[in-house]
Chain A
Amino acid sequence: MRRAALVLLALVGGCSSAQLPGLDDGLAPPRLDELHPALVLPSSRIDLVGTSFADPERATTRLVLRGTFTPANGTAQAFTATLAATQVDDTHAYAVAAGRDWALPPGAGRFEGTAVAQSISALDGSVRESPVQSVAFDCADTLEPQVTSLTAGAGGNLHVNDPVVLSGDGFLLGTGEGETRVVVNGVEVAAHPLADAPWDRTRVAFPFVPAIAGIKPGAFSGTVVVRNVFAASADKAGGSLPLAVTIVKPEITGVAPTAASLGQYVDVAGGGFVGEASDEVTLLHLVGSFAPDGGGRTAPVDLMLVPHFAAGNQLRYVLDEADALGRLIDLRRVSGKFTGQVTPIARKGADEVAGATANATLAIAPVKQVIYVRFLPSYLDSLRLYGLANAEALVRARILTVAARDYAGINVEFRDKPPTDFALYSQVDVEGPDPNALGLLGYDNTPGKDVGNQRLFDRIGGVNATTQSDGYPGYGGIFAENFMGFSAHPSSRVAKLDVDPTHFDAIFDAVRPDTGTPVSAAEVRAGIPALSDTGACLGARDRATRVGCAVFVLGNLVGTTLTHEAGHSLGLADPTGEAFHDAGDGINRLMDAGGDRPFDERAELLGQGPAVFCGDEYIYLRTVLPGSNASQGDSIARPDCN
C-alpha cells in the first residue's frame, strides 16, 4: 500500500515541473604543458603538468596520445592510446602506462607524436580538450641501475633518518613501475626520487633508518647495495658503494608557528627524529618558565611532550588538553609565553639519545575556534535558481565577509578551505535543499547545547545520530535554496514563506532565470560592483547595480544564517538557561528565532540590520573565545538580550 502511494507521488511529481535554463558547468578546458617521465616503463606513472585539471567531482580526466612508436631496430608504426587519468590538483594529473589501452609492442622504442588532456564533465558528459602538445618519450621493458656516487649528510655527519642520496642512472621512480632499493648493513630500504625532481632517474635517496645502525651517535661504515625491483619482472642489480658517516645526535633547527592555541599544530624542524616503528619515539623535553599574559606569576616548566613523527626532519605537535602541557596549563583559559630550552630525545627500544638543546619560545595563544565553511555542489546548483551560479565566487566572498564581521572581537576564524594547521576545528556545510524536507533556512544539528564551547570540532552538516535520537531533525547545514521561499514565486521545490515578498523579488527578479536574465560569465569577468550597503538596491535600474545587489543580499542572507547557526554550536543563545533563541522579537538580534528575523533585517535593507549578538551573548562569546582584538566588537551597539 505504501508502495502504491509512492508511485502515485512519483507520477504527480514527474508531470509538473518548472524548468531552468540549460546548464553551464563552468569547466575550463585543461592545458597540458609537460608530460613526464622521459623514459616510460611498464606501469609507469605518466605525469601531466599543466593547468585546469578538474576536480574528480566535476570531471574525469583523460590523456590521449596519438603518433608513432618506433621499436629499437624496427620501423615506425601508428600508436594511439586513451588513458584514464587521475587529477592530483589543478596543475597535476597522472595516467598509468598499463592495461588494455596501453597497447605497445614489447621491447624498447620511442614514441613521437602529440598529447591531449581531456576533461569529461560529470554534469553532462561534455568534453573539454587541451590544445595539442607535441611529445616524445622512450619506452623500455626493464632498466638496469648504475650507481656512481653517494652523498650523505653535511661533512660526513648524518642524523638518523637523514636522506642518503645516490647518483647514477637508471633508477626507478617508485610508482607502479617499481622502486629502487638498497641494502645497508643487512637492512633493505626503498630509495625514491628527490622531492624537487620526481622524474629524475639519475638521483634517488633513501633514509638512514634506525634499523641500519641504531640511534646512538658514532661512526658507521658499511656498504650500500643497489637494485631495481620491478612490479612485474626480474630484479636488476646496480652495484654497490661504501658508506662511511658519523651519526650525530638529533637536533632542532626551527619551531613554527611560534604561537599556537589548543588544537593547533606546531611543526618542529630538525634532524635525527625517529618514530616510524612501534618501538621508536621522539620526545621534546621542555625546560624553562611560563609567563602568563597579564602579569601573573611565572611558573617553572619541566615536561616531556610526545609529538607526532612526520619524518626524520619533522615532528608535529598538537596542543592537547590530555598531555603534559595541557595538564600544566589550562589551554582554554590561560595564555602566555614559554621561554626556555627544548631538547629532542630519541628512543628506540632501550636506547635513548638526548639531542642538542636549543633555545625556544612558544606563545600559548588564547583558544581559537576555526570554522571551515564547506560549500557543497548542491549549493552551486541552488545558485542557478537565483541566476547567480556564475557569480558564485562573489557570493561566497560576501558570505565570508559577513561571517567575519558578525564575529568581530571574538576569536573565531571562518575559512573556505579545510584547515591543515589545526587538528580541532568545526565545519559548517552550505548546501542547496533542506535534507530534512522541513523548509529550513539553516539548522544546527550538533547535539545538545555546548555551553562553554567545550567542543572545538562541531559539525553543522550531514547527519547526527545523537541529535536525531533526541527527536530533532538529524540533518544540518545552511540551505541556500530555501531562501527562495521569501519570493512570491519561488521554485517548484521551495515552499513560499508567509512574508511580504516585495523586496526579495525586487532584488532577485532581475537575475532569476524564470523572471530575468541570469548573471553571465562575461558580466563577472567585466566586473561586478562590490557594495558596502544596500542603499541603492531597491529601485535600482542599471544592470550592474542590480547584479551587485543580488550578490550582496544573497551573501547577507546566507552569511547571517551561517553566523546564527555557528552561534548555536558555540552555546547560544541563553548559555546559562534552557532557551535556544533570544526571548521575543528584538531588533537586529542575530540569535532571535527564525520567525523573528524579518527579510529586510536578514538582507540588511532599508536601514535594518546587520543583526548582531546581543549584549550578554557578546560577553559570553568574549569569555569563551577571548584573545581577538576586542575593539572592533566592543564598538558595536548591541541590543539587550531580554
Chain B
Amino acid sequence: MAAIVRLLTVVLALSLFGCGPKTGTSLDPIAPQTAVVGVELGVMLRAASGGHVDFAFESDLDLSQRSLRPTLTPYANGEAMFRWTPLASDLGDHLFHFTATVDGVPASEMVAVRVVPGDSPISFRSPVGEGTTLDLARAPCAVVPLLVDDTSATEVDIAADGTLPNGATITRDGPLSGELRFCPAKTLAQTQTIYPFTIVATDAGGAHTEKRYTVVLGILAPPVVSPSPTPNPDPNPSPNPMPSPTCDSAAPAIQTTPHGDITTVGNPHIYAQISDPHGIYNAVVFWSTDPPIDPANPDLFAMNAVDMQLLSGTSQDGQWGATIPSPVIDEPAGTSATIYYVIGTTDDDDAVAGCQYHATFSPTSGVYSFVIKRAN
C-alpha cells in the first residue's frame, strides 16, 4: 500500500509538470514481472507511435542511495528497454510506473515486479574437496581451514548443521574464515570410521550455504571371515541357477616368529611368510598398547590396523612386512610400552565366482606381545 501511495504521489507530480495523462498516445500493456536478485531484468516498452517518444519511469524504490540504478534505453521505433538488477534488499513486491510521451501527450503503464531470491551470494571456497583422511597413528587431529566468499556481507557465522561428534569443533577465526578441527578419541574411532560434517555459513542478510565434508579415519577394518553377502531365501528361484563353483577350501597360512622385546629409537617391524593357493587379498597387523579385555578373543576393532606389504615372493607365497609406529618414539629414553598384536590375512578367491573367502589369524587365539623401550 505504501508503494502505491508513493506512486500516486509521483503520478500527481508528473501531472503538475505537464506530462499528465491525456488521450491519444498508448503504451502496450506489460505483464507482471518476476525478477531475481542479482540478475538483470529487461522489460521492453512499446509506444504506439512512429515518431519521437520520450520514456520515463518511477517506482517505489528509493534510488537516491544506490549506485546500481535501473536504466531506460529508448529506440527510434517507439520502443525502449528498461533494465534493472535488483539487490537483496529489494526482495518482495514493487511497482514501476512507465510513461511514454509523444508530442507532449503521455501514456502510462503500471507494472508489478516481484523480486525473488536468486543464486546464493555466499559459497565455501575452502575446503574445495570433499573430504580428507585421518590416521590416528600419525596425527591426533584433522584440521581443515574454512574460507567463505560472500558478496553481500562482510562477515559470516560458521557452524555445524546438527550435533558434532565428540572431539569435533568448528570455530571462526576471521570475518569470513574458520576451522574444522576433529580429534576423535580412540573409543570413538572404534565405533565408526566415516564422519560426514555439514558446515553452514550464514550472513546477517539470511543468505546461507552448506558444505559437506567427510573425515575418514584411516583405521582399516579387519578382514572378514565370510565376505559373501547373505542372500535372503529366494521364494522364486532362478530357472537358470548359477553353476555350482568349485571353491577353494584352503585357508591362507601364516608363518611368523613373534617379535621379541626391543630397545630402539625407531619403529618395530613385523614380518610373516603368508601363502595361499589362490593368493592373498590382504594382510594386516592389528596392534594396541592396551591389553585385550578378553585375552583369548581380542577385539580387533579396538586395535590399530596397519597394512602389510608384500616384500618378496608372490601373492601365493611371499614374505610380508609392516611397521608399527613406536608409541615411545617421542618419549624420554628408557620409557617403555607393551605392544599387543595379531596378524590377519584373507585369501583372494575371486577367480571362482561365489566362493567364500578365508581368513587366518596368527596367533589363532590371543595376541602376541613384546615390550618396546626407547633407547638413548
- Residue A19 contacts which of B75, B83, B239, B301 (CB distance < 8 angstroms)? B75
Residue of B nearest to A382 (CB): B73
Q: Does A124 contact B (CB under 8 A)?
A: yes
Binding site for B on A (CB under 8 A): 2-7, 10-11, 13-23, 122-125, 156-157, 185-186, 213-214, 216-223, 240, 242-244, 246-249, 263, 278-281, 283, 303-308, 317-324, 347, 349-354, 376-378, 381, 423-424, 433, 435-438, 455, 457, 459, 462-466, 469, 473-475, 493
Hey, what's the 0/1 contact readout for B175-197 against A, CB within 8 Å counting as 1? 11000000000000000111010
Q: Does B85 contact A (CB under 8 A)?
A: yes
Q: Does B152 contact A (CB under 8 A)?
A: yes
Contacts of B281 in A (CB 8 A): 354
B74-A17 in contact (CB<8A): yes
Q: Which of B57-92 contact A (CB under 8 A)?
A: 57-58, 62-64, 67-69, 71-77, 79, 81, 83, 85, 87
Q: Which of B251-259, B264-272, B336-344, B349-357 contacts A (4 or more CB under 8 A)?
A: B349-357
A7-B125 in contact (CB<8A): no
Contacts of B94 in A (CB 8 A): none
A15-B54 in contact (CB<8A): yes
A20-B75 in contact (CB<8A): yes
Contacts of B235 in A (CB 8 A): 223
B130-A308 in contact (CB<8A): yes
A306-B216, A435-B68 known; A20 vs B151 contact (CB < 8 Å):
no
Q: Does B227 contact A (CB under 8 A)?
A: yes
Sample 30 A-B pairs with CB under 8 A, ordered by A number.
Answer: A10-B58, A17-B74, A19-B52, A19-B53, A19-B76, A216-B227, A217-B227, A218-B227, A218-B354, A219-B231, A220-B229, A221-B241, A221-B242, A222-B232, A223-B236, A242-B237, A242-B239, A279-B192, A281-B216, A283-B133, A306-B130, A306-B216, A351-B221, A352-B221, A381-B73, A423-B128, A462-B151, A463-B152, A473-B67, A474-B67
A378-B228 in contact (CB<8A): no
Residue of B nearest to A122 (CB): B42
**Complex CA–CA separation, A18 to B192 (angstroms):** 71
**Complex CA–CA separation, A350 to B219 (angstroms):** 11
Binding site for A on B (CB under 8 A): 6, 9-10, 13-14, 17, 19, 38, 40, 42, 44, 46, 52-58, 62-64, 67-69, 71-77, 79, 81, 83, 85, 87, 99, 101, 121, 125-133, 135, 144-145, 149-154, 175-176, 192-194, 196, 214, 216, 218, 220-221, 224, 227-229, 231-232, 234-242, 281-282, 301, 350, 353-354, 356-357
- Residue B129 contacts which of A186, A306, A353 (CB distance < 8 angstroms)? A306
**Complex CA–CA separation, A263 to B125 (angstroms):** 10
B56-A23 in contact (CB<8A): no
Contacts of B241 in A (CB 8 A): 221, 244
Contacts of A20 in B (CB 8 A): 73-76
Contacts of B79 in A (CB 8 A): 22-23, 124
**Interface class of chain B by DSSP:** loop
Which 7 pairs across A and B sit closest by C-beta, in order of nearness?
A: A14-B56, A218-B228, A306-B131, A320-B129, A219-B354, A242-B238, A246-B353
Contacts of A278 in B (CB 8 A): 194, 196
Contacts of B68 in A (CB 8 A): 435-436, 463, 475
**Complex CA–CA separation, A308 to B193 (angstroms):** 17
**Complex CA–CA separation, A500 to B308 (angstroms):** 78
Shortest CB-to-CB span from A607 to chain B, Å, is 37
A219-B242 in contact (CB<8A): yes
